[in-house]
Amino acid sequence: MVNPYDKANELAQVLKESSEFSELKNLHDQVNQDEVAKRMLDNFRNVQLELQQKQMQGEQITEEEIQQAQQQFELVQQHEVISKLMEAEQRMSQLITDINKAITQPLEELYGAGE
Amino acid sequence: MVNPYDKANELAQVLKESSEFSELKNLHDQVNQDEVAKRMLDNFRNVQLELQQKQMQGEQITEEEIQQAQQQFELVQQHEVISKLMEAEQRMSQLITDINKAITQPLEELYGAGE
Ligand SMILES: [Ca+2]
Ligand SMILES: [Ca+2]
């Protein structure tokens, strides 16, 4: 019987060697080596984070804040490398989500059925 | 290059065949075939869920509610099969957590370093 931990480590290794991961890493490095791009992305992420925290704490988010976030999003979208990085992050995030679904599927079956 | 999805499906299969999963499934089936045990566990879970929802909504949880939950926990702990099932769930949960850590570790390295 194969040890689940061994198989998980194999998967981790495959992920690390995947095109999805190396694209993400390349774009991440490119942004980090470009001071302007890095500041732009950091600003965007900080604003996103602040809004998320407000939302979680049930605080009101103003029209103005939503507009500002939207404008910042459009700004970073126009930066080619940042926009590509965000797309690569989306693909990686989807990949992790799909992997988690595959892993937890037997549990979902167990807990979804026969209740 | 191995496809991450193929490797994830392999891992899912290994998990499904693991002793951790088959123990969990056996105990789960045992409890579900025992009406008294099933009702006891359902009650316990409903109370836990209610308290969690209250907590998430920022509602006050009373001394009495905490005591009741504690008493119910002690009750289910005394039921051998339920107690074993809860232990098996804990082990499975730990296994899934460890697997997720292994999978996301390259991403943590990428996002933790060089900022
Ligand atoms: Ca684009
Ligand atoms: Ca026990």
The rounded Å distance from CA B76 to ligand 2 centre is 10
**Average pLDDT, whole number, for chain A?**
91
CA dihedral in degrees (B22, B26, B29, B33; nearest 10)? 170
pLDDT band at A64 (very low <50, low <70, confident <90, very high): very high
pLDDT, one tens digit per residue, over A5-38 is: 999 999 999 999 999 999 999 999 999 999 999 9
The span from the CA of B2 to the CA of B4, in Å, is: 6
| pLDDT (0 to 100) of residue B114 | 46
- The pair phi, psi for residue B99, each rounded to 5°, is -65, -45
Composition of chain A by helix, strand, coil, percent to 5: 85, 0, 15
User: Apex CA B58: angle with CA B56 and CA B61, to 5°?
Assistant: 95
Contacts with A58 from chain B: Cβ below 8 Å: 58
| pLDDT (0 to 100) of residue A57 | 86
pLDDT band at A93 (very low <50, low <70, confident <90, very high): very high
Does A8 sit within 8 Å of B10, measured CB to CB?
Answer: no
pLDDT, one tens digit per residue, over B60-74 is: 889 999 998 999 899
Residues of chain B falling short of pLDDT 70: 113-115
| Mean pLDDT score, A80-98 | 95
pLDDT, one tens digit per residue, over A35-53 is: 999 999 999 999 999 999 9
Rounded to 10°, the helix A19-32/B80-112 angle is 50
Q: Can you tell me which residue has the tokens 């899934």? A: B96
> What domains sit in chain A, N to C, each tagged with a CATH number?
4-112 (1.20.1500.10)
**Is the Cα dihedral A30, A34, A38, A40 positive or negative?**
negative
What is the number of CB-based contacts under 8 A between chain A and chain B? 105
Query: What's the predicted TM-score (pTM) here?
Result: 0.80
